[in-house]
Chains A and B, each alone.
Chain A
Amino acid sequence: MKPAAFEYARPADLAEACALLGELGDAAMPVAGGQSLVPMMSLRLTGFETLLDISRLDALKVVRDEETHVFIGAAVTHAMIEDGKVPDPAFGLMARVASKIAYRAVRNMGTIGGSVGLADPASDWPCCLLALGAEVVLAGAEGERVLGAGGFFLGPYETARDPAEIITGFRIPKLSAGARWGTFKVARKSGAFSDSLAIAVLTAEGEARVALTGTLDHAQLLPGASAALAAGDLAAVREAARAEVAQADPDADAYRLRCHVATVTRAAEEALTMEPRR
C-alpha cells in the first residue's frame, strides 16, 4: 500500500503553479492536505506522474471579509474553519460542518479546496456550499473563472474544473441577521463518510435552500423540500423529501432513501426551531 513513484514539484506562486499545470496537463495533480489523494495513490486507485504541492501558496490561504461575501482560500484547513479562525458567513454553520468532517487529525491537514476538488459524493463541503449559494473561483493560464457551486459539481469525483486549473477559493454570500440553519448527518460512526448529509438554510428574507449529499451522484439542492421549508411546513418537507430523494439518488436502496428523508427532515426541523442568528 505504497504509491508508485512520482515527481514532486513545489511552485513558488500561483502563476508558476498554473503554468506548470498547463504544461503537464492531467499527468499532474495539485495536492494540499493530501488526506484523500495520498491514500488513494497508496491504494493505487489513482496515480499521477507529478504532484504539485500547492499547500504553501499564500494566494490560496487568503481570507477576505467583504461586504456581501466572505472569500475563503482553497488551502484553508477544515480545522481553521472549525476553530473559527476564519470569518463564518453563516453564523457558525461552516464551523459545525467542518467539525463533523472525518477526525481532527484529518481536519488539521485537509483543506476545503481539496475536498471540493475531489468531489467525493459523500463529502461535506459541496453540500454546504450549495446550501449557501457559494461560488467556486478557479485560476488557469487564461486567468480567473468563477462558477456557481450548482454548476461546478457534475458527478461523483467529477467537477467543471479543467485539469489545468487550480481552485483558488470560494465566494460565499453572507447570511443576513435573522437567518437560521440546520444540519443532520448519518454515518456508520463518527468520522466516517456520511450515508446521508442534509444542510438546510433559511434566510432572514424567507428564502430556503436544502442540499443533500451522500448520494451515489453529487451533492444537490432539493427544490421541493426547500420550498416546503420556506413555507415553514415540516410535514411538507418530509413529503417533498420522499419524492425528491428518489430522484436525487435513483440507485439508492431502501435504507439509504430512509436516511435521506431523515436527514432532510431533521436539518429542516433544526432550521425551523433554531433561534434566529445575529
Chain B
Amino acid sequence: MAATTETKGWIGARLLRKEDARHLLGASTFTGDVRVPGLKDVAFVRSQFAHGLLNSVVKPDGLETSVFSAADFPDLKSIDGGPELPSFRTAPYHAFAREKVHFVGQIIAACLAPTRGAAEDIADQVYADIEPRPAVVDMVEALEPGAEILHEGFPDNAFIHATVSEGDIAAIAARAEVEMRRSFRMNRQATVSLEGRGVLAYWDHRLDELVVYLSTQGAHMMRIGLSLALGLPEHKLHVIAPDVGGGFGGKNRLMPEEVAVCAIALKTGQPVRWIEDRREHLIASVHCREHHYDLTLYAEKSGRILGLKGEVHIDAGAYSLWPSGPFMEASMAARNLPGPYQMQALHVETHTVATNKAPMGPYRGVARPGACYAIERAVDELAHKLGMEPADVRRINLVTPDQMPYRTIGGLRLDNGDYPRALDMVRDMVDLPAIRRRQAEGETDGRRIGVGFAVYTEQSGHGAAEWMKRKSRIVPGYESCTARVLPDGSMLLLVGIQNHGQGLETSLAQIAAHELTLDPAFISVRYGDTALTPFGFGTFASRSTVFSGGAVAKATRLVAEKARRIGAHLMQTEYEETRLEDGAVHGPSGKVPLAEIARAANVRQEFLPAGMSPLLEATATYEPEESGGFFSYGAHAVVVAVDPETGVTSLLDYAIAEDCGTMINPLIVDGQIIGGVAQGIGTALYEEIPYDPDGQPLATTFGDYMVPCAPELPKLRIAHLITPAHGTEYGVKGMGEGGAIAPPAAISNAVCDALHGLGVIIRETPLTPRRVSDAVAEAEERRAAVSLKEEVPA
C-alpha cells in the first residue's frame, strides 16, 4: 500500500546535511588541497592520434630524469577489467602506452616538475613518434567486414557479443498486428564531476607504506587494483579518499593516471601528484552513454505491447577498465529494455564494441538512461502510429501493483510499488488535457509546445547473486560498519562506503541515532581511509543506503544491546526490563545515560557485569536477504517549447512522481532527484563528445561541451509515493540514479510531440538546437518533395 508520508524517530527527519558547512565555507579538503613537503606535479604527454604504432618516445635533452614512459616501468602490470567470461576478449591496458596508442588522450609519458605549468613546459618538448593507423569511430561500422581491427587477436572489434532472449519472439512476431522498427542513438558524454580526478602519492617511511590520496568512490577497491598493477602487497598501500567532489561512476574505475603517479612516487621516492584539468577530463576520463538501438516492437492494435526484438551496440572505447569493464552496459541495457512494461518475449543481440575513443565507464544510471530512452521513445512512436495518446499506451502496458512481485521479460524482479499511479500523478501535475488544448490553439511566438512522459525503474541494493550473475570479478554483495561509542558517549561510525555528495554523513548518522536514541550531532561518520574503516566496496549502483545503512543499523543494534546489558547491571534490573530512550537506558525505576555506560565500558571496567568484555563497539556486515535488488521507480512528465526555426528547446514544466520506499531524509532524496534530473537534462539537450572521422574529440573544453547550469533547470515539482521495500532495513530502496534515467526519454518525447505535426523525425540525443533545426528543415524538404510528386499528373 503506497502512503505519501511517514516519519518515525530520526528515520524520515528532514535534517540539514552535516557536510554542508565545510563545503559552503570553502573549508573542505579535496585531493588538490592536500599539501606534502617537496610535492611535485605531473603533466602527462598524451597521444594526439586516435590510432597508431608508437615507435619511440624521445625525452628532451637534459630532462631525461624528469620524464617517464613505458620503458621506465617494465614491471608495471596492465590493469585489465571485464567480466569473468571466456567469451569476453581482453586487451591489455597499460598505464603508459606500449607499442600502440588507441585513443586521443592515451598516456604516453609523464613529466615531473615543481609546478604543473613547468611540467607542461617539459611535456611540450617530449616527442612521440607515432605511425598513424585508420581510426575506428562508429560502433556499428566497426563491426562491418573490412573494418580496421584495434586489438591483436580480436576476430572483430567487439569485446563481446551476447544475446539476451526470453519467450518465443518468433511466435509473437507471427501473431502481432503491429510491427514497428526504429533506430535510436544516445551519444557519448563525459561524467563531469565538479571536482575532476586527482591522485597524490608518497612513501611514508615511518609507516613503511605508500600513502595514496585519491579522488575515488571506493578507497578499499582501488587498493586492490593498485596492488595488482604495482605488485605491492595491500598492507603497504594506504589509500585515502578525502573530500570527493562528485563521481557519478567516473571515479569508480582504476585509471592509468593513478597507477602512473604511484609508480613514479615509488621510483623517485618523491611525493608526486596529478590533478586532472577539465580538458583532460573531457578527453581522457571515463566516457559514457554511447548506445545504438535497432528495435522492432510487436504490439496489438489496442496498444498492448507483446514483445521486443533488436540489436544494441555499445561504444565501449578502446579498453576495458578495471574491475568490471564495459560489459554491464550491454547486458543492463538489454535487460532493462522492457522497462516497467509487461511483455511476453524479448530477443536482443548485444555488441560491446571497441573503438578509438576513451574507455567507457559507468555513469549515473548505467545503461538505463539509454534503455529507457529507447523503449520510451518507441512507446511514443507506437502511440503515434496507432493514433493514441502516449500516456494511454503506457497505462495499458504498465505492470500493476497486484502483479507484484513481477518478473519482467528481461529477468528483473520488480518487487513492489504502484507504477500506474505514478504515471497518473504526473499526468495530473502537468494537466495533460490543458496542454492538448493549448497545442490546438497554437503559440503566438511561433514556438511549438510538446509534452513527454517516461516511466523508469531503478534496480538498487542488489547483492551477491546479482553480481555473480553478471560474472563480476568483484562481488560487492555486502557493506560493513564499525560502530564505536567513545568514553563520553559520543559515537563514531566507520564505514566502507564513500560519501561524495550523497549526504551519507547525515543519513547514516540518522540511522544510528534512530537505533541508539542519540542526537545525530553526537555521531560522526568516517569513511574513505583503508587504515581506518573495515573493508567495503564504496558508493555506486545506488547501494549505500541499503547496504551501508543496513550495516550501520546492525552494528548499532549490537551496541544498543550491550548498552542495555550494562545499564541493566548498573540499575540492578533485568535486561528484558530495559529500553533505550532519549540517549539513556531506562529501567523500571530510573535510567542510566549512554555516556555513563560508555564510561564504564571504556575506562571503568569495575562497573561492568562480571565476565563482560570491555569496550562499547561492534562491527557488522549487511546484505539484504533478497539479492536481486529493490526497484525504485518513477514517472517524469515534461512540457517543452521548441523553436522550429532555431531548434532551441525550453523546459516549461517538469513533474516527477517517484517511490524509493522509506526515506531516511526527504531533503537528501529530493536533492538526489534534482541533481540526477539536471544531469538527465544534460544528456537530453546539451552534453556530447562528438569525434571526427580521424578520431579527434571535438568537445575538449566547456566552450564546446555544454553542461546545463542553473538557468537551464526548470522548477522541478516532486511528488513522493512511499512503498516500503520488504527485506531491507526500514524498507529503504536506493535512489541515487533514477533522476538521471528518465529525462532523456521524457524530454525527447516532448520535443517529438511538439514537432510531430510537422513530420519531424529525431531519434538521437542530445537534442541540440542544430539537430532539431536540421530535422525540421529535413521534414520541410520531405513535405515539399511529396507535394511536388502529387502535382505530377498520373
Q: Contacts A43-B701, A190-B711: A255 and B117 contacting too (C-beta < 8 A)?
A: no
For A263, the chain B residues whose CB sits under 8 A away are 646
Q: Do the beta carbons of A189 and B646 come within 8 Å of each other?
A: no
For B709, the chain A residues whose CB sits under 8 A away are 103, 189-191
A134, B703: Cα distance in complex, Å: 29
Q: Is residue A192 contacting chain B, with contact meaning CB distance below 8 A?
A: yes
A103, B711: Cα distance in complex, Å: 10
Q: Is residue B706 contacting chain A, with contact meaning CB distance below 8 A?
A: yes
Report the minimal beta-carbon distance from A76 to chain B, rounded to whole angstroms: 24
Q: Do the beta carbons of A259 and B646 come within 8 Å of each other?
A: yes
Q: Is residue B478 contacting chain A, with contact meaning CB distance below 8 A?
A: no
Q: Do the beta carbons of B770 and A2 come within 8 Å of each other?
A: no
Q: Do the beta carbons of B117 and A2 come within 8 Å of each other?
A: yes
Report the minimal beta-carbon distance from B628 to chain A, rounded to whole angstroms: 40
A263, B769: Cα distance in complex, Å: 14
Q: Contacts A44-B120, A188-B768: A262 and B777 contacting too (C-beta < 8 A)?
A: no
For A2, the chain B residues whose CB sits under 8 A away are 115-117, 120
A254, B774: Cα distance in complex, Å: 8
Please list 24 pairs of residues, one from A and one from B, whose beta carbons are closer than 8 Å in the complex, sorted by A's number.
A1-B120, A1-B277, A1-B279, A2-B116, A3-B117, A4-B117, A4-B121, A5-B118, A5-B121, A39-B701, A43-B279, A44-B120, A44-B124, A186-B646, A186-B648, A190-B709, A190-B712, A192-B706, A254-B777, A255-B770, A258-B646, A258-B777, A259-B646, A263-B646
For A124, the chain B residues whose CB sits under 8 A away are none
For B647, the chain A residues whose CB sits under 8 A away are 255
For B117, the chain A residues whose CB sits under 8 A away are 2-5
A193, B702: Cα distance in complex, Å: 11
Greatest chain A CB density within 10 A among B124, B279, B708, B770 is at: B770
Q: Do the beta carbons of A262 and B277 come within 8 Å of each other?
A: no
Report the minimal beta-carbon distance from B649 to chain A, rounded to whole angstroms: 10
Q: Taking CB as reference atom, which chain B residue is nearest A261?
A: B645
For B643, the chain A residues whose CB sits under 8 A away are 262
Q: Is residue A88 contacting chain B, with contact meaning CB distance below 8 A?
A: no
For A195, the chain B residues whose CB sits under 8 A away are 769-770
Report the minimal beta-carbon distance from B398 to chain A, rounded to whole angstroms: 34
Q: Do the beta carbons of A1 and B278 come within 8 Å of each other?
A: yes
Q: Is residue B556 contacting chain A, with contact meaning CB distance below 8 A?
A: no
Q: Is residue B773 contacting chain A, with contact meaning CB distance below 8 A?
A: yes
Q: Do the beta carbons of B711 and A186 come within 8 Å of each other?
A: no
For B712, the chain A residues whose CB sits under 8 A away are 189-190
Report the minimal beta-carbon distance from A135 to chain B, rounded to whole angstroms: 30
Report the minimal beta-carbon distance from A35 to chain B, rounded to whole angstroms: 12
Q: Taking CB as reference atom, which chain A residue is nearest B118?
A: A5
Which 4 pairs from chain A and chain B are nearest by CB?
A2-B117, A1-B277, A190-B711, A186-B646
Q: Is residue B686 contacting chain A, with contact meaning CB distance below 8 A?
A: yes
Q: A1-B120, A191-B709, A255-B774 are in contact. List 12 more A-B contacts (CB 8 A).
A: A1-B278, A2-B115, A3-B117, A4-B120, A5-B121, A43-B279, A188-B706, A189-B708, A258-B777, A259-B773, A262-B643, A262-B646
A262, B773: Cα distance in complex, Å: 11
For A5, the chain B residues whose CB sits under 8 A away are 117-118, 121
> A32-76 vs B: 1/0 string, CB under 8 Å?
000000010001100000000000000000000000000000000
**Which residues of B pack against A, CB within 8 Å?**
115-118, 120-121, 124, 277-280, 643, 645-648, 685-686, 701, 703, 706, 708-709, 711-712, 768-770, 773-774, 777
Contact among B277, B278, B773 for A255, CB-based, below 8 A: B773
Q: Do the beta carbons of A189 and B686 come within 8 Å of each other?
A: yes
For A192, the chain B residues whose CB sits under 8 A away are 703, 706
Q: What's the A-B contact tally at a CB cutoff of 8 Å?
A: 65
> A179-200 vs B: 1/0 string, CB under 8 Å?
0000000101111110100000
Within 8 A of B (CB), among A221-258: 254-255, 258
For B706, the chain A residues whose CB sits under 8 A away are 188-189, 192
A189, B686: Cα distance in complex, Å: 8
A7, B120: Cα distance in complex, Å: 18
Report the minimal beta-carbon distance from A110 to chain B, rounded to whole angstroms: 15
Report the minimal beta-carbon distance from B279 to chain A, rounded to whole angstroms: 5
Greatest chain B CB density within 10 A among A5, A39, A255 is at: A255
For A259, the chain B residues whose CB sits under 8 A away are 646, 769, 773
A195, B770: Cα distance in complex, Å: 10
For A1, the chain B residues whose CB sits under 8 A away are 120, 277-280
Q: Taking CB as reference atom, which chain B residue is nearest A188?
A: B706
Q: Do the beta carbons of B703 and A193 come within 8 Å of each other?
A: yes
Q: Do the beta carbons of B769 and A186 come within 8 Å of each other?
A: yes
Q: Do the beta carbons of A191 and B711 come within 8 Å of each other?
A: yes
For B645, the chain A residues whose CB sits under 8 A away are 258, 261-262
For A103, the chain B residues whose CB sits under 8 A away are 709
Report the minimal beta-carbon distance from B720 to chain A, rounded to whole angstroms: 30
A43, B279: Cα distance in complex, Å: 9
Q: Taking CB as reference atom, which chain B residue is nearest A256?
A: B770
A262, B648: Cα distance in complex, Å: 12
Q: Do the beta carbons of B711 and A188 come within 8 Å of each other?
A: no
For B279, the chain A residues whose CB sits under 8 A away are 1, 43
> A91-113 vs B: 1/0 string, CB under 8 Å?
00000000000010000000000
Q: Taking CB as reference atom, which chain A residue is nearest B445?
A: A266
Report the minimal beta-carbon distance from A258 to chain B, rounded to whole angstroms: 6
For B115, the chain A residues whose CB sits under 8 A away are 2
Report the minimal beta-carbon distance from A60 to chain B, rounded to whole angstroms: 27
Greatest chain B CB density within 10 A among A2, A3, A5, A193 is at: A2
For A4, the chain B residues whose CB sits under 8 A away are 117, 120-121
A186, B277: Cα distance in complex, Å: 29
For A258, the chain B residues whose CB sits under 8 A away are 645-646, 773, 777
Q: Taking CB as reference atom, which chain B residue is nearest A6?
A: B117
For A255, the chain B residues whose CB sits under 8 A away are 647, 769-770, 773-774
Greatest chain A CB density within 10 A among B117, B279, B711 is at: B117
A237, B331: Cα distance in complex, Å: 55
For B280, the chain A residues whose CB sits under 8 A away are 1
For B774, the chain A residues whose CB sits under 8 A away are 254-255
A191, B643: Cα distance in complex, Å: 19
For A254, the chain B residues whose CB sits under 8 A away are 774, 777
Greatest chain B CB density within 10 A among A39, A103, A192 is at: A192
Report the minimal beta-carbon distance from A191 to chain B, rounded to whole angstroms: 7
Q: Taking CB as reference atom, which chain A residue is nearest B700?
A: A43
Report the minimal beta-carbon distance from A239 to chain B, rounded to whole angstroms: 15
Report the minimal beta-carbon distance from A98 to chain B, rounded to whole angstroms: 16
For A191, the chain B residues whose CB sits under 8 A away are 709, 711
A177, B294: Cα distance in complex, Å: 61
Q: Taking CB as reference atom, which chain A residue is nearest B712?
A: A189
A195, B686: Cα distance in complex, Å: 14
For A43, the chain B residues whose CB sits under 8 A away are 279, 701
A3, B769: Cα distance in complex, Å: 34
Q: Taking CB as reference atom, which chain A residue is nearest B43?
A: A2
A190, B118: Cα distance in complex, Å: 35
Report the minimal beta-carbon distance from A34 to chain B, rounded to whole angstroms: 16
Q: Taking CB as reference atom, which chain B residue is nearest A186?
A: B646
A143, B791: Cα distance in complex, Å: 70
A103, B702: Cα distance in complex, Å: 13
A212, B487: Cα distance in complex, Å: 73
Report the minimal beta-carbon distance from B111 to chain A, rounded to whole angstroms: 12
For A186, the chain B residues whose CB sits under 8 A away are 646, 648, 769
> A2-25 vs B: 1/0 string, CB under 8 Å?
111100000000000000000000
Report the minimal beta-carbon distance from B43 to chain A, rounded to whole angstroms: 8
Contact among B116, B277, B686, B777 for A188, CB-based, below 8 A: B686
Within 8 A of B (CB), among A250-278: 254-255, 258-259, 261-263
Report the minimal beta-carbon distance from A156 to chain B, rounded to whole angstroms: 15
For A190, the chain B residues whose CB sits under 8 A away are 709, 711-712
A262, B647: Cα distance in complex, Å: 11
Q: Taking CB as reference atom, which chain B residue is nearest A184?
A: B646
> A186-219 vs B: 1/0 string, CB under 8 Å?
1011111101000000000000000000000000
A2, B712: Cα distance in complex, Å: 30
Q: Taking CB as reference atom, which chain B residue is nearest A190?
A: B711
A166, B769: Cα distance in complex, Å: 38
